[in-house]
Structure 1
């Protein structure tokens, strides 16, 4: 049986994943040991805010596909662990880890990707739009079209198994009891062990308020994350505006539903009000 020694952190990145406007970024840490062992990849969810988009739990397949495409495009089999700065079951502010088993994985070949891009381009030429006419004027709202995830890999069928990290004695003071609670909270950066997967190799963890993209990747990671968050906000505003237009109860309002040409990403957004 191979030794648990020798696991090394070989890749670490703040990686965009999923559809722009739906998902943002994920913290990827890849550990390798050699000897034919599958790399262990920890996918970390940064501190969530109102513009964080879809949770990592709900988009774990997209995060796995982005990781495979970015760091292991040749198709190496990977073992995935999901990390959150809180426990998934009860949301207490101590680091949570879960093994993620993905039962379906397939490579998307160049011809299939070309065909998907072509079909997506055809389907997304037009978007649903609604114009609301009131005594104050007319306002147009366009429903945001879907964005294609053009990756070379797809994953399906996620299943989670909770893992219990081991806290070394030197990290005992990193945990502090919460007032009126039997649960602890992480109050400073620390290191834990996941012996089932990484042996004695430590894994860094941070309190949830510190666990942000710029902590890992600096200003460039902060810029990438901010752009993805801005895309989430735009899509949410467009979606809300379109739904509000369809369901308006304003007296005398006239709502017209029609198709409008989809604006390309490099187009200047049109003024919604006329």
Structure 2
């Protein structure tokens, strides 16, 4: 039975301590309260899956349910004839900062390229806007499997804003948009019949638009202000409810302590052998 839905209220972003703020080098997961509770689930055993032995759709459903949350690329593109397209893709991420590259994977639909893939291959340009929670419903309607002559901009209610470096428009409501030029596209063959399963696009960022009210004191985007949505499994979206800051250990400060810990553990293991 489906759970009853509560009235939407904007999420409150909270900074908390990490699950184990007292972590020490080499500490076992089972030595913490949160870790004990987590490992308790192992008593039910494991399910082993060989993708070669199940239907591709089953692999797909399993992967998208576990590889989460995934950022969502809201892609604006143009066909050779100037037809506009706006679509969502959650197989999306940052590749490198120098040069600034992002990746988007677009699967084929009924053995044919989706409009976005066709457009990027043909015109070599697109924009990627980050979706914020206040207008996720507007964006979600662009996931409709409409014919290629349907203009998603019209049904979304979103506003086209001219880009500066590429022809496809950007989404004005988005507080963070990247104008991109095709850097490389890679067709990935279907494991069953050899046809194109997915096209991986690498986009070179030519220009970034970021609203000033999204920035923190360091001059970077504040996630609490941006309110980005993430894709989970099924048709589930997720909100950012909070986070915790974990500093990366610096060898200059921790190197001697780490080396001493390793030396002690190696001596203990040698004595126990």
Normalised TM-score (structure 2): 0.31
Higher relative contact order (CA 8 A, sep 6+): 1
Q: Which has the higher helix share?
A: 2
| Greater share of strand | 1
